[in-house]
Amino acid sequence: MKIFVVSDTHGNIDEFISFAKKLDRPDLIIHLGDYSEDGYEIEKRMGIDTIVVKGNCDFLDKRKTKEEEILNLNGKRIFITHGHRYHVKMDILNLFYRAREEKADVVLFGHTHIPLIFEEKGILFVNPGSTSFPKGTEGKTFGFLDVGKQIERKIIKIK
């Protein structure tokens, strides 16, 4: 299953949508919050099922969007969160422990605006960066996962 992972759009989704439409169509989009309403708008405009969790800037969310989700795909357990509740700007230790509690194979998180992919003790962590206000040197980015027996993963730079 091919998935685009988006985070920290902060009201700026046009550039992402325009770029994403040029790529092979994913089966699913996951929006990791800030702004959760953008996730619903992406779903509407692209016509692709979208899972949305809320972030620290989504206090006006009227849809009762969840703060976390667990997704089971092709035998993989995916933990979805914005990350702010786990203080991911400091380190990922709290997030790692939560992932272990959830028996997650994959953790998708945002909040830092910095793209990152790494594995720790058998758990894959993916932060897609930000499509609006990137930090670091990568520029505007989002994530791509292809979840099968193995998990293909990469960060895609919006050009």
Dihedral sign, Cα of residue 149, residue 152, residue 153, residue 159:
negative
At 16, is the secondary structure helix, strand, or coil? helix
pLDDT digits (tens, 9 = 90+) for 42-93: 999 999 999 999 999 998 888 889 999 999 999 999 999 999 999 999 999 9
pLDDT digits (tens, 9 = 90+) for 9-53: 999 999 999 999 999 999 999 999 999 999 999 999 999 999 999
Q: Which two tokens stand for residue 114?
A: 């910095």
What pTM does this model have? 0.96
Domain edges within the chain: 2-157
Q: How far is CA 72 from CA 9, 33, 80, 102, 104, in A?
A: 25, 20, 11, 12, 9
**Between 1.10.3720.10, 3.60.21.10, 3.10.20.30, 3.40.50.300, what CATH number should domain 2-157 receive?**
3.60.21.10
